[in-house]
Amino acid sequence: MSNPSDLDLLAELGVSIAPKKQAKRTPQEARIIAGFEEINAFVDEHGRPPCHGENRDIFERLYAVRLDRVCALTHHHDLLVDLDKHGLLEGDIECEQAQADEEMDDAALLAQLGVSELADDDIRSLKNVKLRSEVRAAEEIARQNVCDDFEQFKPLFLQVQNDLDTGLRETREVVKDVGFLKADIEKGYFFILGGQIAYVAEVGEEFKAPNGSSDARLRVIYSNGTESNLLLRSLQRALYKDEAGRRITDPVAGPLFGKDQNEGDIESGTIYVLQSLSDYPEIAENREVLHKIGVTGSPVETRIANASTQATFLFSDVKIVATYKLANINRTKLENLLHRFFSAARLDIQIDDRFGRPVKPREWFLVPLGVIDEVVNRIQDGTITDFSYNPATASLERIVESK
């Protein structure tokens, strides 16, 4: 007689050896379980259940809405009881509740996240729901606090905006895997994110992320007076996903000046500085410091012909006091830059033309000739972005960058 096998022994003992069939979940049950597991993940991370309140971020408030529905729909509790490791289904949730958010209902909360409105018997829909890794990145970007020392950074944002307006800086589209890497995010760099200019004020110590790649904690200041303490990779991902996200280039003379003039190059422009010979009292009193600054592609003598008949020359003859020959320049951008730089010193005057109609010339500035000469030199060597013009002292002042 052969020895009985293990299966035979189990059969004699009345032990069933047929594998138990896993209960098949309906799509709705699978969504409910997935939603509850995300609430559990929040509690694991924060040590408390999600709560309502205007002072809570949008993701916590959404989880609180979902938890309320789970507790209210008791016929689903059997499905979740084995997963309820924090006792959330008991409904006895201790949380420092903020004032209930009366202005934003559940549908509005979901709409902000791009999630379709849920039906009464559906606790959680996975349609259009972001992955948890994406949610964490979005949470970091959205978690902005008031920047207490924003006054130190405000001049930087004003200067960058001025540089963009004048063409001294430009914006570049951020395209994933096409010339934009983590190495392109460094201290002192500017970006456009969520419609705001973002300035990387600090870069922390580099460390290894769980996936083995390098990362670092950043301090990012925004032009709306807020700041965030987010990871470098989170900023990188946010710039990829923001269709309007842009990198702001460093200020360079390139958009205004071409390469050094070589033999055979054709002079493409001239900066000219004029002095008015008008006997109009306000002009005569300030004649020594009142100058018209312009850029022309034609000879200056041709440009000022018939000056006495033109409003831009104050209906008066003028004298050329300085010219700067340039090659390979963008004349419009250069003239715009000069006018914007001296805008605080623009002459505010209104005169009548020969038909008695009032006109306001816009290209005359109360600036000493020596300062104009210094500005042109600084535009050429690229250091103009370090200075601003102070009309009170009639001199250039270095812009102090916050450390």
CATH 1.10.3720.10: does it fit domain 144-248?
A: no
Residues lower than pLDDT 70 in the chain: 1-24, 54-55, 58, 91-143, 167-168, 175-184, 250-268, 327-329, 401-403
H/E stretch holding 220 = strand 218-222
**DSSP of 233-296, one letter per residue?**
HHHHHHHHH-TT-EEEPPP-STTT--SPP-TTPPEEEEEEEEEE----HHHHHTTTTEEEEEEE
Per-residue pLDDT tens over the stretch 337-362: 899 899 999 998 888 777 778 888 88
Helices (H) and strands (E) in the chain, counts: 12, 17
Domain residue spans of the chain? 27-136, 144-248, 267-398
SS (H, E, C) 20-48: CCCCCCCHHHHHHHHHHHHHHHHHHHHCC
SS3 199: strand
Amino acid residing at 218: L
**Cβ atoms of 354 and 376 closer than 8 Å:** no
Q: What is the pLDDT of residue 38?
A: 84
Q: 130-168 burial string, b = 16+ CB within 10 Å, else e?
A: eeeeeebbbebbeebeebeebeebeebbebbebbbebbb
Tokens 């360079």 — which residue? 252
Per-residue pLDDT tens over the stretch 188-228: 889 998 888 999 999 888 888 777 778 888 999 999 889 98
| Alpha-helical segments (H) within 125-275 | 132-142, 150-166, 232-241
Q: Cβ atoms within 10 A of the Cβ of 109, count?
A: 19
Tokens of 107: 């549908």
Amino acid residing at 318: V
Q: Determine the Cα–Cα distance for residues 226 and 166; give it in Å rounded to an integer.
A: 26
Q: What is the pLDDT of residue 69?
A: 81
> Is this prediction's pTM over 0.85?
no
